[in-house]
Structure 1
């Protein structure tokens, strides 16, 4: 293996933004776009919508609503044990890769509970979830059996849900999902789903990651997926065996890998201002995030509890936060921009136009989106 070229932080930044369609919006359809960008973080119901608005030309929220309803896109717990929106096809390819990690996780109270009991409770929950159920209804169904088995459901319910395959059912507007999820068994929702075997799934996960976020280190891919580098290495080896891997290094000398045919446009390519949702995937896709922000900025945008705030990019880098503010009647929306420092000359007019465009998108849907997180404004800003 040759050493390969050395890529600067700007080179890595532009390569990722190109794959994420943040240099120029794409005309890809919803499903193809979600696959190309590696899925969408979905802890906040609004975030997949804002993420697609920032990347797709002429995106309308109703398009994603329909994709959730027709089951071509699903919301479920996947990478890093967090909620993601992915295509139904990718769900069948990605879940087998991360399932062993889901099964291995235990909370303290569940450590003493026998696996067979958890499996029995899970089968009961899945059978009841052949029809969509609220979390309290699902839990109530399982509680009696847990009592007969002498198990405290408070200690194991999280693990029961994690170890068994549930999908979130779209039930509301806007954003398709509320904070009180309705769950159903994946086998009931996706009756024609095809699930990969684990080696194939690992290879698919590595391909999806590199295609969406490369070039990157194997440690970056591990951080994004929640799997270990050791678990991912066979997937990378399979892609290398097909002659489809590019190798290079970053300025610190770390080995980078990428899909050979993926775009790497160079660090001098113009990057227009972009507004990103909470938990946007690019803010979480690498262990080393200096391609997007320095450590001071990172500590402000990503809280100790993991909350990842709505940020904006200028020249491809995180330059501040944005907040949607509705009027007293709740009907109108404006976007308040909070730069971390002085912006480059000429950046503000283009950024303001992008903010106006986002306000127009949010106004008929939720002009106060992310309102509960505005308390984060009180946190100390970088450089303050």
Structure 2
């Protein structure tokens, strides 16, 4: 019987510190390097992209991150194109990815865009009486308006195109029933198909009111090749991982996850309390432990949300205070690869934090220094997470 190499929880945390850029010595100079190290940045909350990037850069600025994100800035990319792509991919969640990786990620995770179109058309037929001809006319008018404007918000497009101002009821009869413009449905299909993209927001970097702009569809990658590519990148950034971690993180089925790990050449290892894990063969040797370090990570940070099983870096008893009911994590304080507390911004601007365990005197000093660093990056900006957690709400009001 083959005895698998064993990797302890402490060794996993050491890898986490290195791979996830959580030690000062591991910080990088560019937003692209951050996104590449983490595969992608959760982007459901626009502020997460900036705060997750800033936590891992030597000298982060909002302008530097914006230049990587938005093609309407002449200094972005090499030919006026963004070096980071914002797309809906893993688990139908918004991510910001390195532009070079986006085609493979999309091919590996996005399924049935034609079904999304068909479902939307059926919903509009029932709600506002649209047929395929009327939908196609509204879609073409939307694309033409975006070409003419270069970029526009949904409100601006509705002002240009009367059909987009029609309203429909979503979730009728439910407690969360609401009304929305048809523009949301039309733009949603175009974005899902990669024909439009989110451009610079109408407000500050914390705003979720994005402009829309025309986009060149990402080139298709054969699905098996794409899944192998994504599995290798995930293993490099998050390994060792379990099959269940990969299945959850990507949104794949169990069979696809197992096949992708095999195709990626993953090395099996034994994990404390989690059975068999996998990493890339070249990562089998244990890295040197970095210096003790603090990180203040935002809500939905990719490190905190990177694994399905988290008890090797998060005390299970602390989860209730740090997560909302849907499994979204709030802002967290990390010490040496483990979550030790939470932080939040008060409406007046200062940052509050609470430790759920005592990490020692050195950690307390490092936390104060990191609070000062984050405060300097915020430079007066106010950030409220999209998903509020119990401890974050308490700290924000304290």
TM-score of the superposition, structure 2-length normalised?
0.77
Q: Distance in 2 between matches of 1:295 and 1:121?
A: 53
Q: Distance in 2 between matches of 1:215 and 1:54?
A: 23
CA spacing shift, 1:155–1:50, aligned 2, 3 Å: closer
RMSD of the TM alignment (CA)?
3.7
3-state secondary structure, aligned to 1:170: strand
CA spacing shift, 1:261–1:56, aligned 2, 3 Å: farther
In structure 1, the partner of 2:59 is 58
Q: Distance in 2 between matches of 1:127 and 1:231?
A: 39
3-state secondary structure, aligned to 2:345: strand
CA spacing shift, 1:374–1:123, aligned 2, 3 Å: closer
CA spacing shift, 1:59–1:262, aligned 2, 3 Å: farther
- Whether 2:22 is the aligned partner of 1:11: answer no
3-state secondary structure, aligned to 1:256: strand
1:296 deviation in Å?
Answer: 2.2
In structure 1, the partner of 2:154 is 135
In structure 2, the partner of 1:167 is 197
In structure 2, the partner of 1:235 is 260
In structure 2, the partner of 1:83 is 94
Aligned length: 360
Q: Distance in 1 between matches of 2:243 and 2:339?
A: 24
Q: Distance in 2 between matches of 1:301 and 1:317?
A: 13
CA spacing shift, 1:135–1:253, aligned 2, 3 Å: same
1:19 deviation in Å?
Answer: 0.6
Q: Distance in 1 between matches of 2:253 and 2:198?
A: 27
Any stretches of 5+ residues in structure 2 without a counterpart?
A: 71-75, 77-81, 126-130, 167-180
Match of 2:267 among 246, 251, 256: 246
3-state secondary structure, aligned to 1:133: coil
Any stretches of 5+ residues in structure 1 without a counterpart?
A: 328-332
Match of 1:339 among 348, 355, 358: 355
Q: Distance in 2 between matches of 1:283 and 1:110?
A: 37
Check whether the contact 2:321–2:391 (CA below 8 A) recurs between aligned residues: no
Q: Distance in 2 between matches of 1:221 and 1:121?
A: 41
CA spacing shift, 1:337–1:17, aligned 2, 3 Å: same
Q: Distance in 2 between matches of 1:111 and 1:296?
A: 45
